[in-house]
Amino acid sequence: MLDWTDRHCRYFHRLLTRRAVLYTEMVTTAALLQGDLRRHLAFDASEHPLALQLGGSEPEALMRCAVLAQSWGYDEINLNVGCPSERVQRGAFGACLMAEPQLIADCVAAMQREVDIPVTVKHRIGIDEQEDYPDLYHFVETVAQGGCQVFIVHARKAWLKGLSPKENREIPPLRYELVYRLKQAFPALEFIINGGIRTLEDCQEHLQQVDGVMLGREAYHNPWRLAQVDPVFYGQPAPCHKPQDMLDDLCTYIDAQLLRGVHLNHISRHVLGLFQGRPGARQWRRYISENAHKPGAGSEIIRTAATFIDLT
């Protein structure tokens, strides 16, 4: 979700669910240790519970970043060893690290020694020619020995050569049964399943076998689906029952951000899918896309675009 789940996206999603754990886009250790901390780590207090997703392969660097994450108030640190992009591979982290489970265990152990918040790992079911279940079992067993108790598993292999990141999200077959087997083999560990999950009904089915479900692009492209997460999974009222309620809060946020120098299109790009599948959704997307980038554009663009939607 690089360049997707930034702080504006997360604030918007938090208007729809108070309880779901939100994850940042992946931030590399080099970006944190050599870059602008506020740019990468600042977030609104309403975003809790919030996990910082890190990319890296050096235990010392990851430990320093974990300390930063805890000091900035994050609730979880997630080490991403599932991203298959070439840019990530050139940095010697991401999915290629699944070939080095002991290194991942060392990274987790280094972070766990310095922080009190959970350190979790996100990974694929394997890479390239690895054996399906035996290598996956060995990976989890080894990383768990480093102190990881929570594994977020994208139930596809990653092919590091020959497939693009987009193709790696679509072509390798989903093998949910392998994630189920992990839970059966390691009942004391927590497994969160990811990949190709579209509906809350699908989530409920998976929860019969594993501990949690992660939605990625589906939550981004169809965010209104999140509005039912709290009542369905947590037995609590939804933060907003009507889109209009959420739009009022969103426009208040936009007005405040504009005063800080944020451009409208940096926020509005995240809400284009809000009315996916509803009459007027195309006009909503088109109006925002054509006007949000213009000089002086403000929350009135969102309010005008909303007139194309029946909000009753």
Using 50, 70 and 90 to split pLDDT, how confident is the model at 90? very low
CATH 3.20.20.70 intervals, the chain: 7-231
Token digits for 90? Answer: 């050139």
Give mean pLDDT, residues 226-247: 91
Q: Which of 9, 65, 83, 96 is catalytic?
A: 83
pTM reported for the whole predicted model? 0.93
Q: Is 83 a catalytic residue?
A: yes
* Residue among 29, 98, 103, 25 at smallest CA distance from 63: 29
Asked if 162 and 120 count as a contact pair (C-beta separation under 8 A), the reply is no
Token digits for 181? Answer: 């087997």
CATH 1.20.120.1460 intervals, the chain: 243-306
Instruction: Write the CA distances from 29 to 107, 125, 217, 274, integer angstroms.
Output: 12, 24, 24, 33
Cα 270 to Cα 279: distance, rounded to the nearest angstrom: 19
Give mean pLDDT, residues 50-59: 96
| pLDDT for the residue numbered 240 | 85
Q: What is the architecture, at CATH level 2, of domain 243-306? A: Up-down Bundle (1.20)
Using 50, 70 and 90 to split pLDDT, how confident is the model at 89? very low
pLDDT tens digit sequence for 165-209: 777 777 789 999 999 999 999 999 999 999 999 999 999 999 999
| pLDDT for the residue numbered 304 | 97
Backbone angles phi, psi at 212, to 5 degrees: -165, 170
Cα 59 to Cα 156: distance, rounded to the nearest angstrom: 26
CATH of domain 7-231: 3.20.20.70
Cα 39 to Cα 136: distance, rounded to the nearest angstrom: 36
